[in-house]
Amino acid sequence: MMIKISAGLERAFATGGFHEPSVEDLRDAAGVSLRTLYKYVPSRDDMVHAALEYRNGRYLEHVFQDLPKAPEEALETILERVAKWMETEASHGCLFHEAVAASPKDVRLRELLMRHKSEFACKAAKAVGMRHAQLELMLILEGLMQNWPLFHEAALEASKRLGLALLRAD
């Protein structure tokens, strides 16, 4: 039941932002009664967290499932999958950043954002054999995500050049 609710909440926040959807909109998106919604996620803050936790799992699976073993191929695949995600799931930018922007004083949201970004960076660095350059790799990936809405394929190609240069300099 929690997966169904979280998936619906993710869709609602991804399409309507974090201020616009009413509790009734969130209930409808989750496909449950108001009583069931509050049983599993007792507050709007909990609804945001449940949606983002669900999104984190989907995103990590999308990017890291069945990567090639060769570091250069793995890096290119990661970047291409991030671009594909941006194209199909996040045309306005990172939903985690959007959530923090909507509630900048929410410490739990900031911690969730940091955990999401750290987990992603760690997995990416491990997949391409660059654990010592985790921050540098994360800056390239974040640059792709932040610039995708403006530059699309050009952002992907620039990210590939930077990522491969970093990998080869290693």
Domain assignments of the chain as residue spans, ordered by start: 2-169
Q: What share of the chain is helix, strand, coil (3-state, %, to 5)?
A: 80, 0, 20
* Residue-by-residue DSSP string for 84-150: HHHHHT-TTS-HHHHHHHHSTT-HHHHHHHHHHHHHHHHHHHHHTT-GGGHHHHHHHHHHHHHHHHH
Residue 93: per-residue pLDDT: 81
**For the chain, which residues score pLDDT lower than 70?**
none
CATH node for 2-169: 1.10.357.10
pLDDT at site 142: 93
**Dist CA 56 CA 94 (whole Å):** 11
Q: What is the pTM of this model?
A: 0.91
User: How much is the pLDDT for 20?
Assistant: 87
What pLDDT is stored for residue 138 in this prediction? 93
> What pLDDT is attached to residue 83?
96
